[in-house]
Amino acid sequence: MEGDFKVTPWEVTGEIDYDLLIERFGTKKIDEQMLDRLSKYGPLHPMLRRGVVYSQRDLEWLLDLYDKGVQFALYTGRGPSGHTHLGHLMPWIFNKYLQDTFDAPLYFQMTDDEKFLFNENLSLEDTLRNTYDNALDLIALGFDAKKTKIIVDTKCIRTLYPLALKVAKKVTFSTAKAVFGFDNSTNIGSIFYTSMQSAPAFLPTELEGRKVPVLIACGIDQDPHFRVTRDVAEGLGYYKPSLMHTKMFPGLSGSDKMSSSVPESTIYTTDPSKVVRKKIANAFTGGAVSAEEQRKTGGKPEVCAVFKYQFYLFEEDDRRIEDLSERCRKGEILCGECKKLLTDRLVRFLEHHQQKREEAKDKLEDFLMKD
């Protein structure tokens, strides 16, 4: 059924209609005019050109201030529920582009408390272990340690808690219920938690002693938290954070969101080449039953997980991606060849990433925010 999908910070189901989501959430499409404007600060990131980063809140306002010389801060994060997969990397890579383009400090929140509260099977020890493991993936992407601070919730709680309390005092259970779909059986930690996710949006102002605009670039599924943040911001003396939303990174099974609950359709940053090869070999492409058939009818890149991987993350050259799409539709390139292209690229990417990830172990301490 059309519109029969669900996007919350903890659950994404159904086939997402991203335009309808903009309506539901009340955000604004990143339109041509905005792309034009963004292109003035540097070459547009492919995720912008291709509509992977497709929605925003108050981005004009933030850029107006920036143009007047007011530096903004970036804020994004990770719920450390397990290993990092490619879906997690996508918005981080985009934040790297933002940091490089706008020379902005990045506050990166690791919500070990959240993942403990929302997952029956995870202990706080688990989520903290995941935190330090996932942080390596962030650092491996090349962020500048001088401009990037990783905030671990339970370790930076002295800093975060007073801010979270100020948020929490302004948010009723009614609001939390309406925004997140909580009910009477929800645990009281989960109910409180959104305050913790709001806190880093106000931290730059506290640290710098001036009202600092904040840009949150994150998956659109996280937007509900930041609606709450925006609602309380001005009453607490802060700017409302601006947002840029990415679409969900697809699963190899063709689903709309890569998810750790389906490991075989998920590529983790620590997967060895052999595993990657196997996972891509089994990926959903929507191709025809036989090569002969497919040469006749052509493929459907719009449903193909392998094509989407190139489109979302790996093939940055627009001409080449267009070419790939056309050749697929015409039946000139078959799924096997296409899978090989992606596999080679992905294996190279992961080999490089895994090396950087090892090097990151020595840098971790420099990135962790002191409490």
* 174 is a contact residue toward a copy of itself (CB under 8 A): yes
Residue with tokens 């994404």: 12
Distances (CA, A) of 122 to 261, 332, 334: 14, 47, 42
> Smallest distance, Å, CB 261 to a copy of itself?
20
* Whole-angstrom distance, CA of residue 366 vs CA of residue 200: 19
Among 172, 210, 261, 362, binds a copy of itself (CB under 8 A): 172
Q: Please select the residue that binds a copy of itself; options are 3, 42, 162, 181, rule is CB under 8 A.
A: 162
By the rule CB under 8 A, 186 interacts with a copy of itself: yes
Count residues near a copy of itself (CB under 8 A): 36
> Are residues 221 and 12 in contact, defined by beta-carbon separation less than 8 angstroms?
yes
Looking at residue 310, the DSSP 8-state letter turns out to be I
Distances (CA, A) of 169 to 225, 226, 236: 15, 16, 11
Given the complex with a copy of itself, which of 112 and 256 has the nearer CB atom?
112
What DSSP state is assigned to residue 85?
A: B
Please report, for residues 99, 121, 208, 220, the alpha-carbon distance to residue 243 in angstroms, rounded to integers and kept in the order given. Answer: 15, 32, 21, 9
The correct pick among 10, 25, 161, 314 for binding a copy of itself (CB under 8 A) is 161
- Strand (E) or helix (H) holding 107: strand 106-110
Residues 287/336, Cβ–Cβ less than 8 Å = no
Between the alpha carbon of residue 160 and those of residues 1, 154, 155, 371, the distances in Å are 42, 9, 9, 9
The only residue of 134, 195, 310, 325 in contact with a copy of itself, by rule CB under 8 A: 195
- Contact between 166 and a copy of itself by CB under 8 A: the answer reads yes
Which position has the token pair 């600092």?
A: 212
Give the binding range for a copy of itself (CB under 8 A) out of 190-198, 209-217, 268-276, 318-326: 190-198
Looking at 95-103, 180-188, 257-265, 333-341, which segment touches a copy of itself (CB under 8 A)?
A: 180-188
Q: Tell the smallest beta-carbon distance from residue 119 to a copy of itself (Å).
A: 10
177 part of the interface to a copy of itself, by CB under 8 A: yes
Using CA atoms, how far apart are residues 76 and 217, in angstroms rounded to an integer? 6
Contact with a copy of itself (CB under 8 A) among 38, 90, 176, 283: 176
- Smallest distance from the beta carbon of 106 to a copy of itself, in angstroms? 24
Name the residues that contact a copy of itself, by CB under 8 A.
113, 116-117, 124, 154-155, 157-158, 161-162, 164-166, 168-174, 176-177, 182-192, 194-195, 371
